[in-house]
A and B are shown apart, each in its own frame.
Chain A
Amino acid sequence: MLKMISNPRRTLALVAAAASLLVIAGCGSSSNSNSNASSSASASSGASSGGAAAGKGPITIGVLAPITGNLAPYGVGMKNGMQLAVDLINADGGIAGRKVAYTLLDDQTSTQVSATQARKLLLQDRVNFLLGTVNSADTLAVIPQAEAAHALFIYPVYGEDRSCTSSNGVRPLIFGYGDTPEQQLVQFVPYVLSHLGKRVYFIGSDYVFPHFVDSVFAHFVQQDGGTIVGTAYAPLGTSDFSSYIAKIKSAHPQVLFIAVTGTDGVALVKQLGQFGLRSELKVTGTPSFESEVIGGFSQAAQGVYTVDRYFQALDNPLNQRYVAAYEKMFPTAPKPVPTTAEEVYGSLLMLKAAVAKAGTINPDSVAKALDGISVDTPGGTVTMNPKNHIATTNEYLLQVHGAGYRLVKALGTIPQPGDEGCSAKSLP
């Protein structure tokens, strides 16, 4: 009948070729994205002032962001955030009286590309400061480049942040402005256990970061008297969670903590509702419900509990001004304002304060000035912890509400516990 292959081996060769193409595609549709490197309007090319002390030209900042690849929503948040931050800071008189210019390159969520682009920014464009990366593996790839070029590098977004100190102590030029799972969960878990239930189930994507979130989460659950009734990991790219949902159901948890990342989380939440589980248990989690990804599925995720250092509805004048400026600059951008954008702005505000304090853009002096510095940001007051170079920041317990979040409880200002949260043991 329809069996008409004359030569199965030739077909196999074709299939093998197809398979290798799929592998290429799987590595992030990256080959086409060099042209995505975008740069701010004009001035960044004249960055020949290098690392010298106060000059007349603009202060230049190199930014690495995943504009393509599966972290693109974060990269786009970073890109928008940078455009707005530079606009706002220049409108407020720039940094130490000098205008700010920046060059943003796509790191493609690839360690190799991240390292190459970092070198390009540092050695060819000779930027004064380096900012960026979302994926922690990329951060680790960029740190040696920054240190080799003796440049100050700020990692602005949420992550495990095990990269700002070396085994010999703090890496002097590397700073984590982003918060960590420890900071997010240390107050969040006790609230969840006492208000939502003590029997919890953890489900995450099967790669390093959710495993790390799990270890932090499990630690706090045990410490605070909860019970973990089950743990499951789904491979990246899972779109049908029905078999996982069957397992969750039979474990009878009161609380489900979701660390399924990116677009997979959308499918999971949607399916939980369809299987009728949303009424049986409370759904919580991070980073599944972050502002960068919630836009597409806020409807399905109403009432889910999460935690973040920033949210659009924060009620303070600085944030009201920020949100208005963001919506004016990006009228069609997905709602709500992404935390990544606010973090990039906060990083620049902190850098501005440090340069003002140091009176120079010399990286060593600015790094020294960053230690212990406090700035007011739309998300609240942020202080750079000199012990581990990780920002002490506000955390807010939130519930998905409408297209964004509503505040359940302000958890206060939370430092990264201990000073080895930044250990770089994972570095080669």
Chain B
Amino acid sequence: MNGTDVLNLVVTSVFTVQIALGLTIIFGVMRVINMAHGDFFMLGAFTMVTVSNSGLPVWVGIVLAPIVVGALGAAVERGIVRRLYGRRDLSTLLATFALSIAFEQLVDLIWGPQSFTVRAPINGTVTVIGATYPTYRLVAAGVAVLVIAAVALLIYRTAFGIRIRATMQDGETAAALGTNTHAITSSAFGLGTALAGLAGALMAPFVGVNYAMGLAQTVQSFLVVITGGMGSIGGTVGGGILIGGGQSALSVPLSGTVAEILVLLLAIFVMLLRPGGIFSRGQARTA
């Protein structure tokens, strides 16, 4: 493993964690398996495409994407998901799946099926630990790390975070004690989708942007929360490093296809041996 491989591993892990974190928050607060999660990522990337095509600086898109996508997420929670809480069936799962298809087809209709690229706001490469690496990738990953840290602080160190955690643990009691759980659920949905949207915006300059790009992210995020443990932020970070970083590290000595198979096998083993997540006996229960 040379310097480039190490940096690849770090950058891949960071974005995997960021996207999955959004899914974790949404699941933790609402028990909603958001099948459209990757599509919020895709919509973040398309916000970038739109901003960049209209001639505005790319940074504007990075600021705008989480706001636009988060607002859309909150609206989806109010308009659709909220009406389905409390049903002990697959209603929310099916509703968000339908939403996923609707988003994709809508974007296909508006932008067409081809792939778009967005100009990176920073060009050039830097030499870090002996590797020549694209500067923007490192900056984008740095922004993502700051955002992940900020979200953790928000949840563990603020009054808003206490309300979120209270709603996560027991929504009814939290409501009885005066927490406006309606406000909490829609802001948590907004926050979760905003994280995906921001990741889409940050990654847009180095991936191909197209209407179908979300599905792979939905799958990846599900793998992360399954291996890391449902609804645990620490588990999500661990799962993200394991899945994203593992895939990246394994594809150094092996072919990409084999690496993908091994990561999927890992997720299956974790599901069989530790249904609560690989970290379920560790940090997840404490802190």
* Residues of A participating in the B interface, judged by any CB pair closer than 8 Å: 1-5, 8-9, 11-12, 14-15, 17-19, 21-22, 25-26, 29, 32, 70, 72-73, 76, 206, 232-235, 237-240, 242-247, 249-250, 262-267, 270-271, 274-276, 292-293, 295-297, 299-300, 334
Contacts and interface: CB of A to CB of B under 8 A. Distances in A.
A4 B231 contact: yes
Per CB-CB distance, the 5 closest pairs between chain A and chain B, nearest first, are A266-B208, A263-B115, A274-B134, A72-B113, A266-B115
Interface stretch (B67-75, B76-84, B97-105): B97-105
A32 B230 contact: no
Nearest to B283: A1
B163 interface: no
B43 to A, nearest CB: 16
A235 B260 contact: yes
Given A19-B222, A243-B8, A3 B229 contact: yes
B210 A276 contact: no
22 contacts: A1-B284, A1-B286, A2-B155, A2-B231, A11-B230, A12-B271, A14-B93, A15-B226, A21-B94, A73-B113, A76-B112, A240-B12, A242-B248, A243-B252, A247-B252, A266-B115, A266-B117, A267-B207, A274-B125, A293-B115, A296-B209, A300-B117
Q: Which of A32, A275, A295 has the most CB of B within 10 A?
A: A275
Contacts of A235: 256-257, 260
B215 A8 contact: no
Given A266-B208, A274-B123, 18 more contacts: A5-B231, A18-B222, A32-B101, A206-B256, A232-B256, A237-B216, A240-B206, A242-B248, A243-B248, A243-B256, A247-B252, A263-B208, A270-B207, A270-B208, A271-B134, A274-B137, A275-B132, A300-B117
Contacts of B4: 242, 245-246, 249
Interface in B162-220: 165, 168-169, 203, 205-210, 212-213, 215-216, 218-219
Interface of A is mostly: helix
Nearest to A19: B222
Interface in B239-287: 248, 251-252, 255-257, 260, 271, 275-276, 280, 284-287
B215 A22 contact: yes
Nearest to A267: B208
Interface in B127-145: 132-134, 136-137
B35 interface: yes
